[in-house]
Amino acid sequence: MTGIIDYNAGNIKSVERACRAIGAEYVISKNPADLENVSRLIFPGVGEAKYAMGQLKKSGFDTFIKERTAAGIPLLGICLGAQIVFDFSEEGDVPCLGLIPGTIRLFPPEMPSQGFKTPHMGWNNISLAPENESNIFEGINDGTDFYFVHSYYMAPEDESYVTAFAEYGGRFAAAVKKDRVQAVQFHPEKSGLPGLRILANFTQTKAGNPLFREGGSGNTSGESKNA
79 belongs to the catalytic site: yes
Question: Residues 79, 91, 96, 150: which is the catalytic one?
Answer: 79
* 96 flagged as catalytic: no
Q: How far apart are the first and last CA of the chain?
A: 26
Residues 6+ apart with CB under 8 A from 36: none
Catalytic residue among 16, 96, 150, 189: 189
Active site residue 120: no
Catalytic residue among 16, 91, 120, 187: 187
Closest CA to 187 of 62, 39, 53, 11: 11
Kindly report whether the peptide bond that precedes residue 101 is cis, defined as omega within 30 degrees of 0. no
Distance CA 100, CA 173 (A): 13
Specify the 3-state DSSP secondary structure of 12.
Answer: helix
Q: Give the catalytic positions in this structure.
A: 79, 187, 189
